[in-house]
Amino acid sequence: MGVGFNPVILAASEHAALLEPFERVRAGAAAVMPIPAGRQEHLRRLIAELREESAQAPTALQAQVQRSLLTLVLAEVVRAAPSGGESATAPVVAQALRYIERRCLAPISLRDVAAALDRSPAYVTTALRMATGRTAQQWIAAGRLAEARRRLLTSDETVEAIAERVGGLDPTHFIRMFRREHGCTPAAWRAEHRRPRA
């Protein structure tokens, strides 16, 4: 689950401080901040409500509601951001995530990520897990699934073609991976999410 937004709508306002975690990422900090377990459900609800509001016909009131909800979402990110200096593994984590983001649609593995960073697979896995709560393989899968969802929504490509485009995956493996994450097959997910809005 994610949120996309134009930072310009906040940069020139009294809410500019909400962009601080993103500025730290630009400077090389880890791109992922684990949200405390007690706040995760609240954040999910805020994002779901923001999506619902964004699906409505645009009005001045809708824009204000959306901005308010976005402010609350970003406040949760700011609260989760580390307040002190970055850990010694932060540059490795940022580099690993950047490498995965740029290459996750190719057939890559933890060994490839570690080799690109001139580190051992165990070091990269430990650094990623400590900083983000996820392994390299989970980040690779997340990137592939994000692209798969985008293609399912915006193209008429077959599930087999999408599996090939998101890492050269065997279609059966891709369908299992997708079902594990979303609770349904890619075809069922596409049918549900491409329905015309009322």
Q: Domain extents for the chain?
A: 10-80, 91-198
CATH architecture under which domain 91-198 falls: Orthogonal Bundle (1.10)
- The pLDDT, as a whole number, for residue 71 is 84
Task: Determine the average pLDDT of the residues in 109-136.
Answer: 90
The mean pLDDT of 99-116, rounded to a whole number, is 91
Of residues 178 and 55, more confidence is placed in 178
Reported pTM: 0.59
pLDDT for residue 39: 85
**Which pLDDT score is estimated for 18?**
76
Concatenating the DSSP letter of every residue in the chain gives ------THHHHTSTTGGGGHHHHHHHTT--S--PPPHHHHHHHHHHHHHHHHHHTSPP-HHHHHHHHHHHHHHHHHHHHHS-SSPPPTTHHHHHHHHHHHHHHTTSS--HHHHHHHHTS-HHHHHHHHHHHHS--HHHHHHHHHHHHHHHHHHH----HHHHHHHTTS--HHHHHHHHHHHHSS-HHHHHHHHTSPP-
